[in-house]
Amino acid sequence: MEYPAFKRALDGERLPAALVDLDALERNVDRLVALLGDKTLRVASKSVRHTGLMRRILARGGARLRGLMCFTAAEAAWLHTQGFDDLLVAYPTVQPQALDALARAAAQGATVWAVVDCPAHLAALDRAGREAGVVLRAVLELDVSYRPLGGRVHLGARRSPIRSAAGALALARAAESFSNVRIAGLMAYEGHLAGLPDDNPFSRAMNPARRTLKKLAWPRVTRLRAQVVEALQGAGVTLELVNGGGTGSVALTAREPCVTEVTAGSGFVCPHLFSYFVGLALEPAAFFALEVCRVSDPGFVTALGGGYVASGEPGWDRLPLPWSPPGMAYVSIEGAGEVQTPLQVPPGVQLDLGDPVIFRHAKAGELAERFNDYLLLRDGRVVAREPTYRGQGQAFL
Ligand SMILES: Cc1ncc(COP(=O)(O)O)c(C=O)c1O
């Protein structure tokens, strides 16, 4: 959308406002589905945090999309009350209340899965399962980080300590001593590849190194995933799912024979960090608009709000991207401000008090934590206003 179209769509709306272009969102669903081969896609809820959008994404993808990857057990239990099912909690907890809620959802008929990487996770699930009278499905998480030089260098997330077939088999054996939890799947997320933009304009000098890392690290991911699946199956463990990938790796992960499903979330709305992957053609679908509230100097405007800085390694790429009108830029000593954001206006652009400035968040789900609702657009016009998790009174992390 060009700036005049954004301005027309926002006419009469309160600012700040968050907008999702449903047409672009649906085209992104189609693009991701086209990369899946014969695999299914699990939607990462943390990268959406909006039940209305998740319903639309699942509806658009039909049978090619299967289930949600949730970010907390409490969230999964709540999502079940909202009519969602096949809920994989990808980040472990041992908190009894959260696991009890998850187990109760299972007792009510929900299909739930919980990621584990140590016997204590299994024990916590087993207790909750026993209380609720169900056997819970555990998904073992395999770490597939790149660890050259005999493991002295660790490039990848620090999550699971399970790094080999032997480690996976040991945990699978540990699970046999519990009666209310069983190993039912494997998850191996290659975040150091799937979440690493290879053409990042904010740190161009590092791009060649990132591409080299990706080339060197992929074979290990593929080999290790296959080895561990084979070892577990050989030991009689039934793997109902083998999950891998993220938006930045859908096509590559989907090619691996041992993988049954790929996860993606960010790609549906395509925040600006996901515009820097070579060969991944997605279009921006989520935006937010701030009000021009003052003019300090010629060539500058100040916007009301804006400091919606994303998580992860700190840097300029974590700030929202001024998007429209094109050419707007931060003032380097202020960046995106807590309540006001000064911006340089390019020559030829005229902005008046009350006008909107459009931004893209760096990440997909975190935008939803800043707004109670999203304005949903079709053909450039607002057709609905629907609550985010926050607007529904839910904040999980
Ligand atoms: C376990 C797991 N799988 C998949 C993803 C990919 O999500 P997205 O497609 O939003 O990058 C993530 C993101 O952090 C993750 O933690």
The verdict on the CB of residue 90 being under 6 Å from ligand 1 is yes
DSSP state of 146: B
Q: Looking at residue 241, what is its pLDDT?
A: 98
DSSP 62-121: GGGEEEEEES-HHHHHHHHHTT---EEE-S----HHHHHHHHHHHHTT--EEEEE-SHHH
Mutation to probe ligand 1, out of 263, 276, 280, 311 (largest number of atoms < 8 A from CB)? 263
Name the token pair of 60: 């658009």
Task: Output the CA–CA distances (angstroms, integers) from residue 349 to 6, 299, 301, 345, in the order listed.
Answer: 15, 9, 11, 7
The verdict on the CB of residue 200 being under 6 Å from ligand 1 is no
The verdict on the CB of residue 44 being under 6 Å from ligand 1 is yes
Q: Looking at residue 337, what is its pLDDT?
A: 97
Tens place of pLDDT per residue across the chain (397 aa): 999 999 999 999 999 999 999 999 999 999 999 999 999 999 999 999 999 999 999 999 999 999 999 999 999 999 999 999 999 999 999 999 999 999 999 999 999 999 999 999 999 999 999 999 999 999 999 999 999 998 899 999 999 999 999 999 999 999 999 999 999 999 999 999 999 999 999 999 999 999 999 999 999 999 999 999 999 999 999 999 999 999 999 999 999 999 999 999 999 999 999 999 999 999 999 999 999 999 999 999 999 999 999 999 999 999 999 999 999 999 999 999 999 999 999 999 999 999 999 999 999 999 999 999 999 999 999 999 999 999 999 999 9
The verdict on the CB of residue 268 being under 6 Å from ligand 1 is no
DSSP 166-224: HHHHHHHHHHTT-SSEEEEEEEE--HHHHT--SS-TTSGGGHHHHHHHHHHHHHHHHHH
Task: Answer whether 0.95 is exceeded by the pTM.
Answer: yes
CA angle 109, 107, 89 (to 5 degrees): 80
Tell me the domains of the chain and their CATH numbers.
Answer: 22-266 (3.20.20.10), 286-392 (2.40.37.20)
